[in-house]
Amino acid sequence: MKTIKYILASLTAGLFLFSACTKEETLKVDVPVKTTDGTVLVQGSVKYIDFGVGTTALPAPFATIKISNNLTTKAFNQFWQADSAGNFAVKGLAVGDYYIAAEYKDAWGYTYVTNGYTVNVKNTVNPITLDFTCK
């Protein structure tokens, strides 16, 4: 009988302890961001010219925006994707020099490329607009 009382007492204490435990909550704090914090918006559009169809530039849906922070090797280390209309917006580049290019692959697997831009991001709030035409 003592054993059963001991087990019941242990179970009751265990239930009490488990019910007292709560999930740890994370305190969320909104930190105001200065508008000149060294990040800038790079936005624009990507179009491509399919010379088999004509010479009109068409929107390049889901084109890849490639960014390199090494102007010597131009080795891309950041990749972004345009939307279904070929428009893109990259936010969060720190102050510095970047090489930015675009690439589009059509439904048949043909890849269209463009010359890139060398962009100097300064501590500014003004967006940089780049429009690419892949060939």
How would you write the pLDDT of the chain (135 residues) with one tens digit per residue? 555 555 555 555 554 444 444 333 333 333 333 444 556 788 999 999 988 888 889 999 999 999 998 888 888 989 999 999 999 998 888 888 899 999 999 988 999 999 889 988 877 677 889 999 999
The predicted structure's pLDDT at residue 19: 42
Res 1: pLDDT: 54
The residues, ordered by sequence, that sit 6+ positions from 112 with a Cβ below 8 Å of its Cβ are: 48, 49, 50, 60, 103, 104, 105, 106, 134, 135
Chain center to CA of 23:
31
Distance, in Å, from the CA atom of 107 to the CA atom of 94, rounded to the nearest integer, reads 35
**Bridge partner residues of 66 (DSSP):** 79, 101
Domain 40-134 carries which CATH code?
2.60.40.10
pLDDT recorded at residue 34: 43
pLDDT at 91: 84
Give the integer Cα–Cα distance in Å for 119 and 112.
21
